[in-house]
Structure 1
Amino acid sequence: MSASPLAALPLRSLLFHFIDMELFSYSEGAVLAEDMASSHMLIVFKSGSGHLYTGEQGCLFTPESSFLLSPSTSYQFESSEDSKIEFYRICFHVFHVENGIAQPFVKPLFADRQELRTYPLVHWTDLINQLNIGQTSRDDKEAHRQQMHFQTVIAFLLEHNLKFEPAASSAQTVEHTIAYMEMNFQDNITVRQLAQMAHVPAWQYTSIFKELTGKKPLDYLTELRINRAKEWLVHTENPLREIAERVGFADEYYFSRRFRLMTGYSPRQYAISMSQNILVKDWIGHEVRIPSQPSRVLYCGESVGDMKMLDIPLVGDQMFCKDTPISEEEATRLSPDLIIFDHSDEKLYAKISQIAPTLTYNSRGSLDARLMMLGEWFGKKKEAQQWLLRHNSSTSFMWQQLREFVGPEETASVFVFHRGKRLFVMGNIGLSSILYHPKGFRPAGKTQEVIRSGRPYKEITARTIHHYAGDRVFMILPESPESRGAMEELMSSALWRNLPAVKNGYSYLLNEQDWNYEDAATREKLLSLLPELLIQTS
């Protein structure tokens, strides 16, 4: 048995002291620069979604997400779709008392967790709101009240995020019953039985279950049964009565009614429809039935060159992206038999997938992974492999030919202004993905951290650009007039002119459309554009 985290955390000798609490609000398009925790810091999100990056780690956040950072941890938010972000920042000190002497304790409190467990959310939200009351007061009694209430907040976190033995939190025991349901869905299962297994009252069990899954227990059970029934309907010709019994329905007719309510098909209609399709898994993990030979594919994203390289039959000439979001009316008018959707927004996915079978696609993933996924979906795996072999061979040959113009340890950086006046350093996407070839340039300075963390880009400020700039700097010329104006302002400043690469004549201004897309067609084009650029300026 592995040691409990309590063994590594001297809990009985730790003291927690509340410093302050502040509500931060960032509007859409605000600069989300990197910052550093000066003490232990609890972050509780009120609104917005995206990624929280700490060093080389990234974690998704949504409203009600909570994270705990230890002192000197660098952190940065990346907003999904530039949504408004609101969060509480709660700062506090931790002291380790030994032999009557208190010393600062700066180690992580929950080293095995990124996002904290905070169930039930209603209780957690109430604790945070109570802590915030009286925040502007200078009254000693109110400050003492806050200090005492903060101890309750810490006790809640310790109880829910440390593995106390043998007792487990209510949320953990409910999670165990969910696993039980998934293994025994065909049995006669009741909420009362599940609540008894979790050792919580039935009313509390249902509340915790819904917070964990978003569904009531019996609705979740029905969905498990229907999903398993779909597999039987597609892969067997067994009678409906037998399939219903196998998945836990005692009544064939009730099974058929529930099946139609959930899918819009009768069981047999579903089986016939699925026989003409194939089951594939998309980027997010949805398992989707798609036509075995789609002829009208609508691509919603910015990497249309991937599709064209594999001769995928596209319909429509509009390129949908963040700046020109997909129109449901236009998509419906085009009558696609398959939609490929370059997005992770589940709400938008739910709407678009009503038009036609829809697969999510990650244009920020590696070129190899993207083309192989397309090959799997469209029965073009061999063509994808052959194209990648040719492209990789051509890329290696290009860098071999450039060896006399590019030093073996020479570094490079790519910058772009986007989303208004916001400045980004590129990581493993766009032009950078070909520059940082094993035989090409090395990422410079703190750009290495961006690469190691797997981030496609990182927002920075002009005053920190020198931490990311390499021996050569590539500035992407944006299409947006506002972004272009911000770029021109930086490039005329001393911050830019004093960069060694700029002083040495190794700065490049490149058109965004020609140089900074990630699709296969652009990558192919760069094999000729890049040598011309580097040979002319070396």
Structure 2
Amino acid sequence: MMGSQPTTSVPLRSLLFHMTDISLSVRPVGWDSDIQTSDPYTLLIVTNGIGSLHTSDTTVLLKTDKCYLLPPGRSYRTFNGFDSSLRYYQLAFAAVHIADQRTTETYTGSLFSGRLEMTAYPFSRLIRLAEELYDAKDSDGDIESMNRHIRFQELIRFLLEHNLEFSGHANSTQAVESTIRYMRNNYMHSITVKQLAEMARVPYYQYTPIFQELTGKKPLDYLTELRINRSKELLVHSDEPLREIAGRVGFADEYYFNRRFRQTTGVTPKQYAKYMKHNTRVRDWTGHEVDIPAQPKRIIYFGETFGDLLALGVDAIGGNLSWKSRTFFKDRVRNVQDVGNPINPDKLMELKPDLIIFACSDEKQYTKISKIAPTVTFNSFAPLDQRLLTLGHLLGKRREAEKWLDTYNNKAAVVWQQLRSVIEPGETASVFVFDHGNRLFVMGASGLSSVLYHPHGFQPVDKIRDLLDAGLGFAEITERHLPAYTGDHIFMLLPGNAESKVAMEQLMESALWRSLPPVRNGRVYCVEAAKWNFGDALTREKLLDALPRLLLANS
């Protein structure tokens, strides 16, 4: 580290760093934390999603593949107001200053000139280190603790290497980031890679690899994308001639602009402008901006909440139908074509869809199928009202979505009021199922549990509340952890798989099972998983009719 100038108020070599805690948070859309205080240092490493970090004097955008350091004593809160879950590691560590051989003290000063956002290149290495620390957080042996400490020192060294100031200039990654910001603000001007490398004071041969690591694109491809995206806005919202639009976004002439636009989008600028008069642009669950038909007619829905579409009166032409034979509304989907799981691209092309709704965050699959038709990702584990309103927006059925939700919510309120004789306010419930052999799962935001948890109905225990807050549909648990997930009532889903059924029967004959309070109190309900463990709108509505019979029969 020759030539480095530490930004701490004491020599860097006099500081020792010690990790005190690490956690992994997955926060759903709309989540807002309580005000917290960073004590000691707090490092946030964002691996997915977009959110915001609010302190007493500033607000910072939290983004995927970014990390943020809060000094001790800083009050802050985090918020996810965007349209996908926010996932991040939260790492706490202390710094100890060794003033001399006999004097040590806790250090609480700034490490990096008061900056909140840190730089890390490649970011994948930082994520790997965080994953290893998190996986080993419960290891309590001496050797394991030493290995964890060594791994943490590697992480700290990695951050120091990329964030200490060198000779008054930011390091290479920060310098390249500054040129990216320059491109966003000056895309309309003439820009070359040589010029950008000189601005960053980074050797030409190093500039492009760093740029690609940060953006996933080569510099000129990134610049073209900026220009094309801005031109799309102008084509839709202005009546300027093509040559004027080309000049405003940085293209030398309209002919080159026309060629690059077609290479990028597959259509000419004029075709795009005409097309957008009958289309709308949306931002999907995982952040893609997609132009979709205002009134799609040939819809493929790839997800487990197919009943959501039927509730809105929408008939899809295709979907993944592994569940078809088990659902009570199978007669309503008899003409729906199975596109496979994973999706068969050839089958998609054969069906000629004008919209694909993809309830999955698999970016590799998305890249393949989005070339066939406009494709939007969709969170099928989101709350019912959020799912239906999103589909209403995508399909031009917002009024239908609002009307259905009003009817359902009124019906749910009546049902839970009727059940007051058998359910006390605040009583909890848990849903368990064996699947994939002898693996035990607790249900969270999906399936049967999604109808049980209601302001006037059952409540989740704390462990399940954590799953709901994280937007997780389910989680695998061990039998020894069963008591921590058990509420006042148990709903045991009966599996269809023979091996899973044997595992369930063995559990229900065990001393552990007999010791659970709801088992002793006769509050266990067994229902068929294949029939009732769905969380779509139609199944939820049907469950409201079945619940009183089920609960009253056991009372």
Identity %: 54
| Residue of structure 2 in register with 1:521 after alignment | 538
Which residue pairs with 1:27 in the alignment? none
Specify the alignment match of 2:267 in structure 1. Answer: 265
Listed one character per residue, the Cα deviations across residues 415-463 of structure 1 (whole Å, up to 9, x for unaligned) are 2233443322222322222222111122224223333444332221111
2-structure distance, mates of 1:122, 1:455:
24
Partners of 2:149 and 2:545 in 1: CA distance: 64
1:185–1:495 CA distance, 2 compared to 1 (3 A) = same
Pick aligned residue for 1:435 from 436, 452, 456: 452
| Distance (Å, rounded) in 1 between the aligned partners of 2:224 and 2:319 | 42
Q: CA deviation at 1:235?
A: 3.0
* Aligned twin of 2:396: 379
Q: Contact 1:302–1:320 at 8 Å: present in 2 too?
A: no
Aligned with 1:403: secondary structure? helix
- The separation in 1 between residues aligned to 2:352 and 2:215, in whole angstroms, is 34
The number of equivalent residue pairs is 457
3-state DSSP of counterpart to 1:250: coil
CA contact (8 A) 2:382 2:471 kept: no
Which aligned pairs between 1:1-20 and structure 2 lie closer than 5 A?
Answer: 13-15=14-16
* CA RMSD of superposed structures (Å): 4.4
Does structure 1 conserve the Cα–Cα contact (< 8 Å) formed by 2:301 and 2:319? no
Q: How far is 1:215 from its partner?
A: 0.6
The 2-side partners of 1:497 and 1:279 are apart by 55
One-letter amino acid of the structure 2 residue matched with residue 254 of structure 1: Y
Q: Deviations over 1:460-511 (max 9, x none)?
A: 1111111111111112223444433433332232222221111221112221
Q: Could you say what secondary structure the match of 1:531 adopts?
A: helix
1:345 corresponds to which residue? 362
- Distance in 2 (CA, whole Å) between partners of 1:502 and 1:161 is 57
1:448 paired to 2:449: no
* Paired letter, 1:269: Q
Q: Give the Å deviation of 1:525.
A: 0.8
Matches within 5 A, 1:420-431: 420-431=437-448
1:173-203, CA deviations, whole angstroms, 9 ceiling, x for partnerless residues?
3223222212221111222332333332232
Alignment of 1:400-415 (within 5 A): 400-415=417-432
Gaps of 5+ in 2: 1-5, 20-40, 50-61, 70-92, 131-147, 324-338
1:128-186 CA-to-partner distances (Å, cap 9, x unmatched) read 9xxxxxxxxxxxxxxxxx99999666322234368999764432332232222122211
Q: Is the 8 A contact 2:18 2:94 kept in 1?
A: yes
* CA spacing shift, 1:341–1:125, aligned 2, 3 Å: closer
* 1:331-383 deviation line (CA, Å, top 9, x unaligned): 22222222111111111111112222112111101111111111112222111
Cα pair 1:225 1:248 within 8 Å, conserved = yes
Q: Which residue of 2 aligns with 1:336?
A: 353
Is the Cα contact below 8 Å between 1:301 and 1:320 reproduced in 2? no
Query: Aligned residue for 1:360?
Result: 377
SS in 2 for 1:280: strand
For residues 297 and 8 of structure 1, the distance between their equivalents in structure 2, rounded to whole angstroms, comes to: 61
User: Aligned ranges for residues 164-313 of structure 1 at < 5 Å?
Assistant: 168-313=170-315
> SS in structure 1 opposite 2:446?
coil
- Equivalent pair of 2:303/2:320 in contact (CA under 8 Å): no
Is the 8 Å Cα contact of residues 445 and 469 (structure 1) preserved in structure 2?
Answer: no
Q: Any idea what SS the aligned residue of 2:291 has?
A: strand
Q: 1:451 to 1:263 in 2, by over 3 A?
A: closer
1:97-140, Cα deviation, whole Å (9 max, x unpaired): 577367999xxx99x99998530469989999xxxxxxxxxxxx
Q: 1:356 aligns to what SS in structure 2?
A: coil
1:277 Cα deviation after fit: 2.2
Higher mean alpha-carbon deviation, 280-289 vs 513-522, is at: 280-289
CA deviation map 1:200-242 (0-9, x unaligned): 2232222211001111111100111112222222333432211
**Paired residue for 2:160?**
158
Structure 1: state its 5+ residue gaps. Answer: 19-39, 52-59, 69-91, 129-145
Q: How does 1:135-150 map to 2 (within 5 A)?
A: none
Distance 1:151 1:411, change over 3 A: closer
Match of 2:421, SS state, is coil
Whether 1:459 and 2:467 are equivalent positions in the alignment is no
Match in the other structure for 1:486: 503
- 1:319 alignment partner, SS class: coil
CA distance in 1, matches of 2:186, 2:374: 30
TM-score by length of 1: 0.73
CA distances 1:387-432 after superposition (whole Å, capped 9, x unpaired) = 1111112111211111110011321111223344332222232222
Aligned to 1:389: 406
Q: Give the TM-score normalised by structure 2.
A: 0.71
How far apart in 2 are the matches of 1:393 and 1:7? 60
Task: Select the residue among 328, 334, 342 that pairs with 1:325.
Answer: 342
